[in-house]
Chain A
């Protein structure tokens, strides 16, 4: 009998049973994690150098007119900016991996030291909440709409495609602003600004999450829906599906259980990219709704040349990106057993 994922039983039988070898998936994970750690280290160097290359320093930027030469000189010393690049980087790296993320330079320059870990945790929690909610809705909805569009040509397909085309063409902040106009200015149903008091969770006032989530869905779902759609359609026209069709499989099963599942790998990567984007890239959405997320914190820190904060956020995001990539590859591996044999 043909294994419907494409590997025949004969092929499986011929494969020698592995003795005393690491399970391929475990091996894969091991290598990827090692590679991830190295990537992370490399990223830390790149981030450090890039921020250093930015003109200006935190003191002159933050103090502006108040940055008198004596103040700048004294604060440079205090903030350790006079140290050479490499020792400074190593000091920072050592602190980072041991959990000491230091203080925000901008806050040190103005006399109110803020712990970087605390800053990242506060903004990070908000970002994770928003991203999680958005992804929890986006994934099933994209799968459903994409497959629906692929399975039924005609009006359903056209509507979904057209809708996604429109959504893709509108920039994030335009969508967000339009939603505010509709739901606040006109209907007065939802708050126009999504403030999250520090120390509270974004979930304690769910109404403020509705519009940002809606904005993220509208701008990202279009893309993932289209990818699910094209992936599923490609599978639908492949040989084994045609064969199954000839064998009398019901249409619904062909579409939802065969084509969708096998067309998933590309979509998984798309979901991964979207998840990564939602973690660190949604600065404009955050700005439109004044939502205190990591993107905002990062941009502000870059503008202020607040290197400890930039480093910390960038490292956290890099780690999350790497983990998401590994997870995505793992899921694809689990979806496509053929790949496991080539590991």
Chain B
């Protein structure tokens, strides 16, 4: 049962870290109009512009679940259901807005010292926890301390923070000292990342999760469902429904889709292109195809033959027809990427031209490298439903350049398993959208825990990268980040090829669905829920 569109391993999709795109809506005041609702929307009318929200009701949404691994603790959040529940109960320091920019959330402002090694973070003064107590610097400090524990999933995001020297200047100001200068110290704490949400000082037991978020805890059974109630004292835009139930007892998308069709759920998300088609055909639900939140990529280890030669890496990138993969594997529901992570996020180098396939150039590069008729093994596990299909299509495309790619299938649970060889010489993976700092810190930086392309040993690039991170001047900052990315684009080991749309379906009575923003859809990474209402 390794088909991950249905069956047990669909939970691995949840490992796509959902589109943790951040709590932009939390920080935006009042109501959001649906901005015309076109773009990726499909199905019957998804337009909700100028509609008046109705309060009340119990909004019941569903996702394929992750069993007992589901959690309400930011310190252990790993699966898509977690990405939806944690932003409901808690708040982050900063959030991603609809357009992808980083905006204040719990943190109102943050200012650096001269060289960007110590920051002063000012918190909002009007925030209270669900138990009535006010948010103070102590809560933030406690959260970061807990995050830095080795058992915490969020520990890497505190790696550059001198955690022991965190202190409060006053009840609403945190002094945030760093090891290395960083112009954007809160990028790892953006709401896209569920592991960085702020919880109450002293909280260790998340069976009673006290947060500051738009929803209050009522009940939670992992692998089954959670029920939250609206927080009427919320500092931001209050949700409309009185209750929000997230049902995650589904093992596969077929029963998830049936539940929406049968009216047992108001909506659900995370469908494959195939299931999406049949939901569309059913006619009694509104389907949404919105901008996705995970970047799919192949990776080549630059420290292993044959990828030690940059010409081979370049050739492998030139062979790929990304558009064809999007069209075939994602049914056209997705965007093409340019071998770089984070298209559309702050600091992304969108001036670099989109790479297109060039078989002749690839062949000559391989010849120059002495690797004509190259044979490589591509190790693939279906942590996202179409990964094997994408690999097989890539292998087909490679034949035109004389390259033989042998696709070797492994279990999804082995994709990140060091015991079976992760990081593999040539493999495929996905990266949830969060911030450039997030992905670079996890995989490209010198002490990155997931050194998938052996970029850590590229000392020249590491220097460039550290310098870019520490550049406080905004225009110089973008220039340096552009150079950092150009270098990766020229000679790096990632082959980012596509970002699949998030496919969702909902009852026509569900309104307020945003379809052409960074944070759209029905349910998934947090945000969508907060703007929805039941007609």
Do the two chains belong together in a single complex? yes
A17-25, A32-40, A187-195, A231-239 - the one binding chain B: A187-195
A129 within 8 A of partner (CB): no
Query: Do the beta carbons of A60 and B417 come within 8 Å of each other?
Result: yes
Interface centre among A110, A197, A296, A304, by most B CB within 10 Å? A110
Given known contacts A71-B150, A122-B221, A290-B250, is B69 in contact with A109 (CB within 8 Å)? yes
- The chain B residue sitting closest to A72, CB to CB, is B418
Task: Report the minimum CB–CB distance from B222 to chain A (whole Å).
Answer: 6
Query: Do the beta carbons of A69 and B418 come within 8 Å of each other?
Result: yes
Per the bound structure, the CA–CA distance linking A70 and B418 in Å amounts to 13
A139 within 8 A of partner (CB): no
B171 within 8 A of partner (CB): no
Task: Report the minimum CB–CB distance from A58 to chain B (whole Å).
Answer: 9
- The chain A residue sitting closest to B82, CB to CB, is A110
Query: Do the beta carbons of B417 and A304 come within 8 Å of each other?
Result: no
- The chain A residue sitting closest to B417, CB to CB, is A60
B73-81, B99-107, B482-490 - the one binding chain A: B73-81
Chain A residues within 8 Å of chain B by Cβ, number: 52
- The chain B residue sitting closest to A309, CB to CB, is B68
Per the bound structure, the CA–CA distance linking A288 and B6 in Å amounts to 10
Task: Report the minimum CB–CB distance from A169 to chain B (whole Å).
Answer: 22
Q: Which of B72, B206, B249, B419 contacts A292 (CB 8 A)?
A: B249
Q: Which of B68, B225, B264, B419 contacts A56 (CB 8 A)?
A: B419
Query: Do the beta carbons of B262 and A193 come within 8 Å of each other?
Result: yes
Q: Is the interface of A mostly helix, strand, loop or mixed?
A: helix
List B residues 382-414 near A (Cβ within 8 Å).
383, 413-414
- The chain A residue sitting closest to B204, CB to CB, is A111
Per the bound structure, the CA–CA distance linking A64 and B67 in Å amounts to 14
Inside 8 A of A304's CB, which chain B residues have their CB?
Answer: 67-69
Given known contacts A106-B68, A110-B78, A192-B262, is B417 in contact with A70 (CB within 8 Å)? no
Hey, what's the 0/1 contact readout for B420-452 against A, CB within 8 Å counting as 1?
Answer: 000000000000000000000000000001100
A107 within 8 A of partner (CB): yes
Per the bound structure, the CA–CA distance linking A71 and B152 in Å amounts to 7
Inside 8 A of A107's CB, which chain B residues have their CB?
Answer: 68-69, 71, 222
Q: Which of B8, B223, B255, B417 contacts A193 (CB 8 A)?
A: B255
- The chain B residue sitting closest to A103, CB to CB, is B68
Inside 8 A of B413's CB, which chain A residues have their CB?
Answer: 56, 60-61, 64, 303
Inside 8 A of B150's CB, which chain A residues have their CB?
Answer: 70-71, 73-74
Query: Do the beta carbons of A290 and B259 come within 8 Å of each other?
Result: yes
Q: Which of B207, B419, B450 contacts A60 (CB 8 A)?
A: B419
Query: Do the beta carbons of A109 and B258 come within 8 Å of each other?
Result: no
Task: Report the minimum CB–CB distance from A200 to chain B (whole Å).
Answer: 11
B224 within 8 A of partner (CB): yes
Query: Do the beta carbons of A75 and B151 come within 8 Å of each other?
Result: yes
List A residues 23-70 near B (Cβ within 8 Å).
55-56, 60-70
Inside 8 A of B219's CB, which chain A residues have their CB?
Answer: 198-199
A125 within 8 A of partner (CB): no
Per the bound structure, the CA–CA distance linking A143 and B70 in Å amounts to 45
List A residues 177-213 near B (Cβ within 8 Å).
180, 184, 191-193, 195, 197-199
List B residues 117-170 near A (Cβ within 8 Å).
149-153, 155-156
Query: Do the beta carbons of B255 and A287 come within 8 Å of each other?
Result: yes
Inside 8 A of A112's CB, which chain B residues have their CB?
Answer: 70-73, 76, 206-207, 222
Interface centre among B71, B247, B261, B449, by most A CB within 10 Å? B71
Task: Report the minimum CB–CB distance from A61 to chain B (whole Å).
Answer: 5
A81 within 8 A of partner (CB): no
Inside 8 A of B155's CB, which chain A residues have their CB?
Answer: 68, 70-71
Task: Report the minimum CB–CB distance from B253 to chain A (whole Å).
Answer: 11
Per the bound structure, the CA–CA distance linking A69 and B17 in Å amounts to 19
List A residues 288-306 near B (Cβ within 8 Å).
288-290, 292, 296-297, 299-301, 303-304, 306
List B residues 344-389 near A (Cβ within 8 Å).
383
B416 within 8 A of partner (CB): yes
Inside 8 A of A65's CB, which chain B residues have their CB?
Answer: 15, 17, 78, 416, 450
Interface centre among B71, B153, B223, B414, by most A CB within 10 Å? B223
B91 within 8 A of partner (CB): no
Query: Do the beta carbons of A287 and B252 come within 8 Å of each other?
Result: yes
A113 within 8 A of partner (CB): yes
Inside 8 A of B8's CB, which chain A residues have their CB?
Answer: 299-300, 303
Inside 8 A of B72's CB, which chain A residues have their CB?
Answer: 112
B251 within 8 A of partner (CB): yes
Query: Do the beta carbons of B67 and A106 come within 8 Å of each other?
Result: yes
Inside 8 A of B417's CB, which chain A residues have their CB?
Answer: 56, 60
A5 within 8 A of partner (CB): no
Given known contacts A113-B207, A290-B251, is B78 in contact with A301 (CB within 8 Å)? no
Query: Do the beta carbons of A74 and B416 come within 8 Å of each other?
Result: no
- The chain B residue sitting closest to A60, CB to CB, is B417
Q: Which of A56, A75, A111 contacts B71 (CB 8 A)?
A: A111
Given known contacts A56-B417, A110-B78, A111-B76, is B249 in contact with A68 (CB within 8 Å)? no
Inside 8 A of B206's CB, which chain A residues have their CB?
Answer: 111-112
Per the bound structure, the CA–CA distance linking A65 and B443 in Å amounts to 11
Query: Do the beta carbons of B258 and A192 come within 8 Å of each other?
Result: yes
A78 within 8 A of partner (CB): yes
Inside 8 A of B222's CB, which chain A residues have their CB?
Answer: 107, 112, 114
Inside 8 A of A297's CB, which chain B residues have their CB?
Answer: 223
Q: Which of A71, A114, A301 contacts B153 (CB 8 A)?
A: A71
- The chain A residue sitting closest to B262, CB to CB, is A192
Hey, what's the 0/1 contact readout for B252-273 against A, CB within 8 Å counting as 1?
Answer: 1001001101101000000000
Per the bound structure, the CA–CA distance linking A297 and B418 in Å amounts to 27
- The chain A residue sitting closest to B146, CB to CB, is A111
Inside 8 A of A301's CB, which chain B residues have their CB?
Answer: 67-68
Inside 8 A of B259's CB, which chain A residues have their CB?
Answer: 192-193, 195, 290
Query: Do the beta carbons of B223 and A288 come within 8 Å of each other?
Result: no
A164 within 8 A of partner (CB): no
Per the bound structure, the CA–CA distance linking A198 and B247 in Å amounts to 11
A119 within 8 A of partner (CB): yes
Inside 8 A of B252's CB, which chain A residues have their CB?
Answer: 287
B12 within 8 A of partner (CB): yes
- The chain B residue sitting closest to A56, CB to CB, is B413
Inside 8 A of B17's CB, which chain A residues have their CB?
Answer: 65
Query: Do the beta carbons of A104 and B249 come within 8 Å of each other?
Result: no
- The chain B residue sitting closest to A291, CB to CB, is B249
Per the bound structure, the CA–CA distance linking A81 and B249 in Å amounts to 28
Interface centre among A55, A68, A180, A296, by most B CB within 10 Å? A68
Q: Which 10 A-B pairs have the closest CB atoms?
A: A111-B73, A110-B76, A111-B76, A192-B258, A110-B71, A112-B71, A198-B221, A300-B67, A74-B150, A106-B68
Q: Pick 9 A–B contacts, CB within 8 A, sort by A.
A: A60-B417, A64-B415, A68-B155, A195-B247, A197-B225, A299-B8, A301-B68, A303-B8, A304-B67
Query: 4 more A-B contacts (CB under 8 A) besides A106-B68, A112-B72?
Result: A64-B78, A65-B78, A66-B78, A69-B449
